[in-house]
Amino acid sequence: MNNRASLVNFILSVVKISKNDAEQIANTFHPIEIEEKNYLLKEHEVSDDYFYLERGLMRTFLYNLEGEEITIDFFTENNIVFEVTSFFNRIRSEAYIQAITNCKGFRISYEELNTLFHDKPAFRDFGRAILVKEFMASQSRNYGMINRTAKERYQNLLSTEPQILHYAPLKYVASYLGVTDSTLSRLRKKI
Amino acid sequence: MNNRASLVNFILSVVKISKNDAEQIANTFHPIEIEEKNYLLKEHEVSDDYFYLERGLMRTFLYNLEGEEITIDFFTENNIVFEVTSFFNRIRSEAYIQAITNCKGFRISYEELNTLFHDKPAFRDFGRAILVKEFMASQSRNYGMINRTAKERYQNLLSTEPQILHYAPLKYVASYLGVTDSTLSRLRKKI
DNA sequence: TTTAATTCTTGCCTTTTGTCAAGTAGATTT
DNA sequence: AAATCTACTTGACAAAAGGCAAGAATTAAA
């Protein structure tokens, strides 16, 4: 039982494979730490990290046409963190991935991922399940943007991911929810 | 050269494989037609269609808590149509997939897809590329919902996918864009 | 062809959210 | 401790979008 135990458990929670296989997969990952405010990925780079976040909080953001930071997504503990498009298509990223708090976890590169896909067929299902999960999350966010008011979106975030509201500054959350800082500040006061 | 030529070309446009491979893959698909207003998938069913839409226009929709139809997405010609979550996770769908106009194309089942993944490794890349593409589309829709006004979203749809506005009734488009029928009707008049 | 149903438009008024600008509170630097 | 940042709040007003209801217009049905 090494310190990759949480990664092993995460893998087992995603696909039905043997514990032995999960451990072999986990062992090909490399531990890394990212300090608060540091970056896992910057604009114009080609993402090469498939990163299991064991502890901490991260976000992706990019700059809109007005040059404002827009937080696209938050990543919480026990999730895979990566920029799908840049990582899989091997193209330059438009987005940044940044640690909000000190973070640690385990990563592999694109090449290592493909080797694993080849060596461990069960890992293909894992990879697909992660993609499908991310896709679902994105769709359900879309749905929320269309069918819920800003207030409801805020309350939903508050009840499902309170850690985010605890650690992320208001302005990150505001752009993520699609409202201005002022509006979020007022919504928050009402609740 | 059979009538699957458009599917072969579509596959070749997504992944770099030999024409021969692409043809073999295309030949495992089965032709189907769906008449206007008919369904490829209904709520509570487990999706079993991985469908290449050669001709026609489709949409997915679901009912929100108020019982109103919300159009989640449109599918245009030369794209794969399927309900990612239900299809890959083998769970019941919350959404419908419906033909807006008469449609035709080629489908395979979940089982056939997996057989292809096994027999044709290049098809795995295809499958992944399709997933990544759908994910990108969903993300970019999210971005648009947050960073653009309803008017801009409408104009964007008008310039990128005019066929949709031509064939889909206003109410489908309104719920897709996240506005009421009245608002869309007014926006449209201004342009 | 008349009726019925659906889709779309429009007016009036309300609610939500945004913009701009000023001000407060903390944290950080010097 | 004073000065400087940054994050957040608040007020006054403007703009965007929604709710409701009535009325055209179009389509489908009887």
Q: Are B92 and B44 in contact (CB under 8 A)?
A: yes
Straight-line distance from CA B68 to C1' C5, in Å?
18
Cβ-Cβ pairs closer than 8 A, A with B, add up to 74
CB contact under 8 A, B85 and A134: no
B167-173 contacts at long range (C-beta below 8 A, 24 or more positions apart): B167/B57, B167/B100, B167/B101, B168/B57, B168/B59, B168/B71, B168/B74, B168/B100, B171/B69, B172/B59, B172/B61, B172/B69, B172/B71, B172/B74, B172/B100, B173/B71
- Segment A38-59 shows an average pLDDT of 97
Judging contacts by C-beta atoms under 8 Å, the chain B residues touching residue A143 are 70, 72
pLDDT for A101-119, tens place per residue? 999 999 999 999 999 999 9
Q: Are B151 and B84 in contact (CB under 8 A)?
A: no
pTM: 0.94
Q: How far is CA B182 from the centre of its chain?
A: 26
Judged by phi (left if over 0) then psi (alpha if -120 to 50, else beta), residue B34 lies in beta
Task: Output the tens digit of pLDDT for each of chain B's 191 residues.
Answer: 458 999 999 999 999 999 999 999 999 999 999 999 999 999 999 999 999 999 999 999 999 888 899 999 999 999 999 999 999 999 999 999 999 999 999 999 999 999 999 999 999 999 999 999 999 999 999 999 999 999 999 999 999 999 999 999 999 999 999 999 999 999 999 87
Residue A85's SS3 state is helix
CB contact under 8 A, B178 and A84: no
Interchain CB contact of B91 with A (< 8 Å): no
